[in-house]
């Protein structure tokens, strides 16, 4: 008789809990990403947005507004797509606008060593953001995706600076139109 009462109590409890939404278990990736984002220490010239809401940490956008160098004053938005096996694989990062830069191609692909061969699981989102910021304060002509921009930076830095400024104003550089980002 006691077992019958306990069974009925368990049925009532199960029925009551069926109406409540079940808490979603977080994956190891989501736990790590949550920690990375809560520990972000962005420079004052960077912002982060979650276009799908704070519940979707697997996709977000970071905007970098350099305060020095060739790209000073421009606003450069990047999308971050976090792979399911993060932190074992790096995030997929793309520049959302066309920018005249030695390390960013016209499709928004970014040449940053920690997003490729130098990625290690101990690195985090903060390291990637600072790496991107560093690309704007000190572009690297020795590891280019845009070979024309890299050659110009190496051989004619004054012309490179003029072309960067013109491209940031929404002009054409070497036959390619760029978005106004100033």
At 142 the pLDDT is 94
Distance from chain centroid for Cα 27? 20
The pTM assigned to this predicted structure is 0.84
Before 102, cis peptide (omega within 30)? no
Q: Is residue 182 part of a domain?
A: no
Q: Which residues of the chain have pLDDT under 50?
A: none
Check if the beta carbon of residue 175 is closer than 8 Å to that of residue 166: no
Q: Is residue 17 part of a domain?
A: no
Q: Is residue 68 part of a domain?
A: yes
- Residue 21 CA to residue 143 CA, distance in Å, equals 50
Nearest residue to 161 (alpha-carbon basis) of 75, 102, 94, 96: 102
Cβ-Cβ contacts under 8 Å for 40 (sequence gap 6 or more): 48, 125, 126, 129
Active-site amino acid positions: 111
Q: Is residue 76 part of a domain?
A: yes
Q: Is residue 46 part of a domain?
A: yes
Give the CATH number for residue 58: 3.10.110.10
Check if the beta carbon of residue 93 is closer than 8 Å to that of residue 78: yes
At 25 the pLDDT is 78
Q: Is residue 88 part of a domain?
A: yes
Task: Say how many domains are in the chain.
Answer: 1
At 21 the pLDDT is 56
At 146 the pLDDT is 96
Check if the beta carbon of residue 52 is closer than 8 Å to that of residue 69: no
Strand partners, 59: 81
Q: 114 lies in which domain range?
A: 26-172
């Amino acid at each position: 008789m006691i077992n019958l009462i306990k069974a009925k109590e368990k049925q009532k409890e199960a029925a009551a809990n069926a109406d409540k939404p079940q808490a979603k278990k977080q994956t190891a990736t989501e736990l790590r990403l949550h920690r990375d984002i809560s520990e972000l220490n962005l420079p004052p010239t960077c912002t982060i947005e979650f276009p799908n809401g704070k519940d979707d940490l697997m996709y977000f956008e970071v905007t970098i507004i350099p305060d020095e160098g060739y790209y000073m004053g421009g606003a450069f938005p990047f999308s971050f797509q976090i792979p399911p096996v993060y932190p074992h694989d790096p995030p997929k990062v793309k520049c959302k606008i066309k920018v005249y830069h030695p390390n960013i191609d016209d499709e928004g692909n970014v040449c940053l060593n920690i997003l490729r061969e130098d990625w290690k699981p101990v690195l985090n989102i903060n390291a990637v953001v600072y790496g991107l910021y560093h690309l704007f304060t000190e572009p690297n002509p020795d590891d280019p995706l845009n070979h024309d921009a890299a050659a110009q930076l190496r051989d004619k830095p004054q012309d490179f600076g003029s072309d960067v400024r013109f491209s940031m104003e929404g002009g054409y550089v070497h036959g390619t139109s760029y978005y106004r980002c100033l």
